[in-house]
Structure 1
């Protein structure tokens, strides 16, 4: 019995090491992995430190690779980069999180090459961009982590093609301001539409600050970011009170024409 347990333990260690080596090779590429095999074996000799809850801890792995000069994202010249994201949960919400993460990293100018939604409700989203450096997977993983998303697989092909499989099953929207019932929040000049999170609320009151010229547009979403209702007003408003649809988790507040119309900010109150 003890011999069997020992064999199982040894097999688990070998399997973990083999899996970790494979994942590292996928991240840095076959050639880079083979050229630095001895260093990689030394750096990751305590392979259990790079697992969390039975899965690869990609942030820890990528951080170690980057700290030791094994993760190369800078290119010799501007090139076309192809990045594919595979997502299996909350399609609309997940794409917003990825898009917001790219924006936070300074990537605004990219275009969608393919967008496939298959029978298994898995999204495969491929974008292209021209750049002198590929997106840093460590920075991207940390941005996604802010929204409770994590990598479950990464593959790199020749520095110009990357694939990220992302678990978004527990995702949240880190840029949504959480407002509790009966709380009044004063928002300053917006750079992007106001995006707030609510829970079990029935009424929203919005007050425009003096000097604004607000033409309201309010969008109500459920927890998956499916649209429940849109309210638009073609007349200037100083204040607005609306019923919040059932199952609303997120509300976007903006101006029909331009955010410059609410440059003085807005005040928002949520009521039960």
Structure 2
């Protein structure tokens, strides 16, 4: 009987200790976002809105985006600057660097960020890091960033706010895919008024026919990539083409279709007719 009571007591103390650790870690993360001074001023209020500690954890990890969102909703985290200024964002992933930069670049552009410069990039045993610098009136909203990343199968694991102008994001890309149209066997896809090279997901496609609009002057330039965006093959044709038949290697996941000279040569569009399953 005594042994059972001691076991229950040990388990209870273990659970209590775990809860204390989780609360302390959550407090540390909150402080990292709003600073010691703001935390001290609003300690009681913060303890009220974060009283259900478990709600801010996903398994054993803090749900940092939910923490950020809660702070924003309660007026405790401000992302705006008094005037436009330069700030940095560093993105970290353990996936393919080429794929990651393409994915993050597409994500940033979909959020309206076109003018940024790469400040630094490094690849080591811990993964790949890409740091960009941009000028804006406010810091990128982590909640909106996560929402956009989710459309590509990604998630934000952690966020570190080193300062008001220095943010670090750890991104899970284990289920990532480019946010591009996926071709389906037997279903034609027609794209008009092309202004950029066309990216497509051809994961299950064995071959396809590409037709150029009769008003185009198309000189095919087609690049084939695997799932990590490793270049598999480049097809160039220095001859005006109205129709092109393309066979895809087994490992092909994405294709990029453009013109050998200028995108305006295919501005009236292309039609894709996929067939055959890999």
Do the two structures share a fold, i.e. TM-score over 0.5? yes
SS in structure 2 at match of 1:15: helix
1:233 counterpart residue number: 237
Q: Deviation string for 1:92-146 (max 9, x for gaps)?
A: 111111111111121111111111111x161121111222212222211211122
Partner of residue 69, structure 1 = 75
Do the aligned residues in 1 keep the contact of 2:221 with 2:234 (CA within 8 Å)? yes
- After TM superposition, list the pairs within 5 Å mapping 1:1-272 onto structure 2: 1-118=7-124, 120=125, 122-173=127-178, 175-272=179-276
Distance 1:218 1:45, change over 3 A: same
- Distance in 2 (alpha carbons) for counterparts of 1:205 and 1:33: 61
CA distance in 1, matches of 2:244, 2:141: 43
Please give the per-residue CA displacement for 1:13-42, whole angstroms capped at 9, x wherever unaligned: 222222222222223334333332222211
Structure 1 unaligned spans of 5+: none
Aligned residues between the structures: 270
Aligned equivalents of 1:233, 1:67: Cα separation in 2? 55
Query: Greater CA radius of gyration, 1 or 2?
Result: 2
Structure 2: stretches of 5+ with no match in the other structure: 1-6
Distance 2:34 2:214 in 1: 55
User: Quick one: distance in 2 between partners of 1:74 and 1:101?
Assistant: 21
Per-residue CA distance 1:176-211 (angstroms, 9 max, x = gap): 111122321122323432211123432121011221
d(CA) in 1 for partners of 2:75 and 2:94? 32
RMSD: 1.8
Answer whether contact 2:188 2:272 (CA < 8 A) is retained. Answer: yes
How far apart in 2 are the matches of 1:187 and 1:53?
A: 44
Go from structure 1 to structure 2 and tell me whether the alpha carbon gap of 1:269 and 1:45 turns closer, same or farther (over 3 Å shift).
Answer: same
**Residues 131/200 of structure 1: CA separation in 2 closer, same or farther (3 Å cut):** closer
Task: Tell me how far apart the structure 2 counterparts of residues 236 and 24 of structure 1 sit (CA, whole Å).
Answer: 60
What SS does the corresponding residue of 2:199 show, helix, strand or coil? Answer: strand
Aligned counterparts of 2:89 and 2:17: Cα–Cα separation in 1 = 35
* Contact residue 180 and residue 199 of structure 1 kept, 8 A: no
Return the TM-score normalized by structure 1.
0.92
1:49-97 residue CA offsets vs partner (Å, 9 max, x unmatched): 1222332223322221211122211111222212212221222111111
- CA 1:153–1:263 in 2, change beyond 3 Å: closer, same or farther? same
Report if the CA contact (8 A) 1:90-1:168 is conserved: no
